[in-house]
Structure 1
């Protein structure tokens, strides 16, 4: 990345993942001045490959981002390393402040800062996150098919996860205490339920080997599924009056946005996991592209209105 940062741009894109880069691509191809400011902490960094994205199956996440940055730069956009810590209204636009004190002005702001996965406090879990501690059957399920998988009850989506991963293996254990309809669903699908508390994740030769229970028993597993609490990253949006709210699914907190990414704050758009907690890479990229197109259209309409006003002022003088 280059740390070159001009004083002002048409659009500042906060976050350089799939959503941010695809939004920047759309804007730069529309001949907008754009800078992507990225803190360099992608959610999918631990993953070995991207899945479910046509034409990019198994590509390492870092390679996708490298290609995206090169494409964005190829159309004249800037990509800058930095963390945005503040944003304030500045006339019709915004003044954005970085952690190192740098500031940049922009007419529009596209926020694609993603989310943070909060894992249960179980020893050994975090170390294997994104490898054989998983959350999404569409992102990782094929890679663990037919293996011994455990699902750790850790949120309102845990039973749903178990139903989805049951499609991928016959050897599935649910660690928790489901009730009512949930217990019936698991039983009907032949999913073993273990109600004892999980105290640790066991590993052997840099891979999961089992789940330790509070009575000392270890149940052999090769992968473990957890429902993380997903929390959108966007603290600086509070400066503009935007605040996170609980997601309807109960999966965490997000920043609400309209179908094209627009928010209640004129000039601010959101795309990707900051607003859609369940968006995979392809969906996040598509949302970024859609938001970028609408930002450009919004700027076009603003500029057209200004041109019409200027034209009306000239016409009477020219015909007098």
Structure 2
């Protein structure tokens, strides 16, 4: 049994894109949010990235989940699994299988901003799990957490290290909003990429085959199509750098020459100096104690922590608690 709830439509997305692009390209330094990478082409490119030899996060997290899904099911006794930014929900099948074997799970709620990706995932999962109630939610995880279907014994999965795309103030707001949407005793399963040698980190965002470079430039192609802009994507070089002070990777697009860009639908002209950059993504890397502190400040207690043998990636299971720390 499958359902779809819509809290975003094409007009909402168009307004959001216009606002983000105008704000970001008139800022100093220039910036664009990473969510605009993900049209159909961008989503395919990201799937290609996850299979690259340099890109360790996806396969490392999957191995952690494969080894611990049964324990997660036993600890949480989940009746409802919610996934934020679900995409294809591929890794989540490990959790669904374990929770169904446990005999507690009755419903799955994937949330994603992309209606087309969500519909595809819901239809596929409906075939694979015919006895499971599946409610897809078209929404923005930073705006629509309160609209998640209510219930008891929910586990919210936020995987892939996507939490790292938020700067600290955004993470605090997101975690606070999520805690407000949950009842005491409910759970957050959080995947977090960990601080490690930049010699491992940087190639994961600047692969030898150039797939990540194409993914990065795709945001310009999205803007060209949706806002009638005239970016020349090949006039921007892909850059990935490790910021040791903030302990995050920054992806940027660097203008190869002095140039001007016209965004017709915004009635906006933007100039770029040679070498000027647009920041398109941050990917923060975490330490366990720092993540524990952020969770605690938002009203979660870290109950379990799993990592791989090299300590490259962590999966945290945190419980929503009351002010006295009880679930």
TM-score band, normalised by shorter chain? 0.3 to 0.5
- What's the TM-score, normalizing by structure 1? 0.33
Structure possessing the higher radius of gyration over alpha carbons: 1
> Is the helix fraction higher in 1 or 2?
2
